[in-house]
Amino acid sequence: MNNKKAVVLISGGLDSATVAAVAKDKGFDIYALSVNYGQRHSCELLAAEKTARQFSCVEHKFVSVDLSAIGGSALTDNIDVPQRDNGKQSVGIPITYVPARNTIFLSISLGYAEVLGARDIFIGVNAIDYSGYPDCRPEFIEMFQNLASLATKAGIEGNAIKINAPLIDLTKPEIISLGLSLDVDYSLTHSCYSPSSNGKSCGRCDSCIIRLKAFADVGVNDPIEYAKQ
């Protein structure tokens, strides 16, 4: 491989921890990027920091974008995160959807990759168990790839930056199995939309339910702490 630099978007969740392990396994030097977008819970960024550390990143940049200024999501605004006690899948696009989040994240990572002269970006989106977010679909990633080829100096010069989304077709249990085979330490990750003040996961929001079910399907204990299950 000629250019071993890769920008890896690390959110603190289990998907991005897995994708960082995949990039590392492919021999990339990891330049981690975490976006502080006005998350209501600082434990996400703390998890991002801990997650990145296990992959011996060359550097880890935190870029702040105050998406709470434009509002519109239960993850940045003072809107209650729905709890799911009845086991039913929620219908449509949930209120935890942050408008244009992945578009914004990928745009910033594109700028960072261009500055570094990196030719690869890794993002941990997946289209299955994706909570219904429009910007987690394969067609979205493909279109962003097209945009990246036009939007940058590198692209104009014939060196388009590649958007890698290696988890896009995997189920959550498959992602966890892949990560475990690459020695990901999932105790450092955080998925809960509604953690308690001491950082414990609620075990009841969509994100916790999906995570717990996936660990159960793999037959492994989820190593993080839950307030209740």
Residues that bind its own copies (CB under 8 A): 33, 61-67, 69-72, 93, 97-104, 106-108, 110-112, 114-115, 134-135, 137, 139-140, 143-144, 146-147, 150-153, 155-156
Do 103 and 144 form a contact (C-beta atoms < 8 A)? yes
Q: Which is nearer to its own copies, 57 or 67 (CB)?
A: 67
Closest distance of CB 72 from its own copies, Å: 3
Q: Which is nearer to its own copies, 1 or 150 (CB)?
A: 150
Number of other CB atoms surrounding residue 202 within 10 Å: 19
Dihedral (CA of 129, 144, 53, 57) sign = positive
Q: Which is nearer to its own copies, 34 or 207 (CB)?
A: 34
* Token duo for residue 80: 């209650």
Number of other CB atoms surrounding residue 57 within 10 Å: 19
* Token duo for residue 116: 């570094």
Q: Which is nearer to its own copies, 88 or 153 (CB)?
A: 153
Q: Which residue has the tokens 């021999």?
A: 27
Do 9 and 105 form a contact (C-beta atoms < 8 A)? yes
- Of the chain, the end-to-end C-alpha distance in Å amounts to 45
Q: Which is nearer to its own copies, 87 or 92 (CB)?
A: 92
